[in-house]
Amino acid sequence: MTTPTTLRWGILGAARINQQLMPAIVAAKNSELVAIASRRPGAAEAILKEYAPQAEQVRIYNDPTELLKDTNIQAIYIPLASQDHAQWTLRAIEHGKHVLCEKPIALSVADIEAIEIAAKKHNVQVMEGFMYRFHPQHQRIQDIINSGTIGEVRSVRSCFAYPMQPARLYRIDRNMSQGGGAMWDIGCYAIHSARFAFPNAQAHAVNAMAKHNEFGADISSSGTIDFGDGKYAQFNFSFEHARRAEYEIIGTTGGIKCHNAWAKQTEEPIISWWTDNGEQHTESLEIANHFLLEVEHFTECALKQQPPKLSLTDAKDNCAIINAALQSVAENKTIKL
Ligand SMILES: NC(=O)c1ccc[n+]([C@@H]2O[C@H](COP(=O)([O-])OP(=O)(O)OC[C@H]3O[C@@H](n4cnc5c(N)ncnc54)[C@H](OP(=O)(O)O)[C@@H]3O)[C@@H](O)[C@H]2O)c1
């Protein structure tokens, strides 16, 4: 049997992030945008016109459940608010759809386990949308680590931040248990990128501190993940300081810095690395659209029924550390994993 060459996508929710993903689904060589749903009448049409005016014959639904029943749709992109991700991912899987869900795919490890079981049962592929991982700059960094140039990785420092704009205050007007705050929004990137440098190590313990607002949403946080044997990752994220999306990996003989982990297609990706014996390098890499690369990768995996690059085990490990960090803040102590 030959593998189909095009995957038909539906989008669940007229979210702002569609500004990036919608054109990517339309542009991806192996995908086709066929439908979008919004619970707010008129919202889906409006963003379709604004973000992907070139898309043709896209069906509009005012009810996400009706979109899921559309048998013409094979894959669903979920850009709903974070607290809605797990339930809609499960519903989409139960309708036999492949699912690319925005980060964080769920707020608890138990929910990701349920997603994993459902995906196996319905024989569909599911991936958490950490788009930054599809930018080739991270593969370049991985290659430098693998070459042994910086020795054995011992420490990571990641920092993700931007000053919260008034128009986005709705992201922090609810408690973290309802998906509000910086951890679920940007902290998950800081932890994800910190973990990437220790691919074979499991976290042993997490310690974190945070500042919260009057709604119980975290605004700034810092913490340390203990990967055992003296290997530590320090993360910092904030809605109160200058824009930053960087990480630095230090090995026994050198280090590497990724200066813009969220590099968009308009931004030059720059990495630098150095060694103890005096080597200093700055590399300006080719620009790339990580959203497009993410969509093309996931589409190919869905078409070929292959597991995607970001596994649900990775999602569970990230979620476990996030929840340990939140518990550490709440109980003011180090949490063992
Ligand atoms: N990968 C990335 O680079 C990236 C960047 C930003 C955000 N994200 C993630 O993507 C997800 C969505 O983030 P976002 O900032 O795009 O969310 P958003 O614009 O707040 O939209 C989230 C959902 O809320 C509803 N909504 C949108 N505008 C609304 C309004 N004015 N009033 C009431 N409801 C509204 C929409 O559902 P309905 O249309 O059904 O009402 C939408 O799907 C989050 O999980 C976030 O973590 C990822």
Confidence tier at 1 by pLDDT (50, 70, 90): low
Q: What is the pLDDT of residue 169?
A: 75
Burial classification of residue 189, based on how many CB atoms lie within 10 Å of its CB (0-12 exposed, 13-18 middle, 19 or more buried): buried
Burial classification of residue 201, based on how many CB atoms lie within 10 Å of its CB (0-12 exposed, 13-18 middle, 19 or more buried): middle
pLDDT (tens digit, 9 = 90+) per residue, 128-148?
999 999 999 999 999 999 999
Least confident segment among 25-29, 106-110, 170-174: 170-174
Averaged over 159-168, what is the pLDDT?
85
CA angle (80 as vertex; 119, 219 as ends), nearest 5:
115
| Separation in Å, CA 204 to CA 228, 229, 234, 321, 336 | 6, 10, 14, 10, 6
Answer yes or no: is pLDDT of 172 > 90: no
Confidence tier at 171 by pLDDT (50, 70, 90): confident
Distance of CA 273 to the CA centre of its chain: 25
Confidence tier at 164 by pLDDT (50, 70, 90): confident
Confidence tier at 150 by pLDDT (50, 70, 90): very high
Place of tokens 């048998």: 71
Q: In sequence order, what are the beta bridge partners of 19? A: none
In three-state form (DSSP H/G/I as H, E/B as E, the rest C), the secondary structure along 170-205 is: HHHCCCHHHCCCHHHHHHHHHHHHHHHCCCCCCCCE
The reported pTM is 0.96
Asked whether 14 lines ligand 1 (CB < 6 A), one says: yes
pLDDT (tens digit, 9 = 90+) per residue, 36-92?
999 999 999 999 999 999 998 999 999 999 999 999 999 999 999 999 999 999 999
Ligand 1 centroid – CA 186 distance (Å): 14
Q: In sequence order, what are the beta bridge partners of 99? A: 76, 126
Nearest CA to ligand 1 atom 1: 131
Compute the distance between CA of residue 169 and CA of residue 174 in angstroms, rounded to an integer. 10
Averaged over 141-168, what is the pLDDT?
93
For every residue of 10-32, DSSP letters joined together read EEES--TTHHHHHHHHHH-TTEE
pLDDT (tens digit, 9 = 90+) per residue, 196-243?
999 888 999 999 999 999 999 999 999 999 999 999 999 999 999 999
Asked whether 219 lines ligand 1 (CB < 6 A), one says: no
pLDDT (tens digit, 9 = 90+) per residue, 174-191?
888 888 899 999 999 999
Place of tokens 């196996």: 120
Q: What are phi and psi of 97, to 5 degrees?
A: -100, 145
Nearest CA to ligand 1 atom 23: 80
pLDDT, the chain, mean: 95
Please choose from 16, 62, 265, 322 the residue to mutate so as to test ligand 1's pocket, defined by most ligand atoms within 8 A of CB: 16
Answer yes or no: is pLDDT of 168 > 80: no
Ligand 1 centroid – CA 280 distance (Å): 41
Answer yes or no: is pLDDT of 167 > 80: no
Place of tokens 């990517």: 24
pLDDT (tens digit, 9 = 90+) per residue, 77-125?
999 999 999 999 999 999 999 999 999 999 999 999 999 999 999 999 9
Compute the distance between CA of residue 189 and CA of residue 199 in angstroms, rounded to an integer. 15
Ligand 1 centroid – CA 2 distance (Å): 37
Asked whether 60 lines ligand 1 (CB < 6 A), one says: no
Helical H segments across the chain, by residue range: 18-27, 43-51, 64-69, 85-94, 109-122, 136-146, 182, 188-196, 290-304, 312-331
Nearest CA to ligand 1 atom 32: 40
Q: What percent of the chain has pLDDT over 70?
A: 99
Q: What are phi and psi of 146, to 5 degrees?
A: -65, -25
Compute the distance between CA of residue 314 and CA of residue 192 in angstroms, rounded to an integer. 9
Q: Pairing mode, if any, of strands 244-251 and 254-258?
A: antiparallel
Nearest CA to ligand 1 atom 5: 17
Burial classification of residue 268, based on how many CB atoms lie within 10 Å of its CB (0-12 exposed, 13-18 middle, 19 or more buried): exposed
Q: What is the pLDDT of residue 37?
A: 98
The answer to whether 247 and 269 have CB atoms below 8 angstroms apart is no
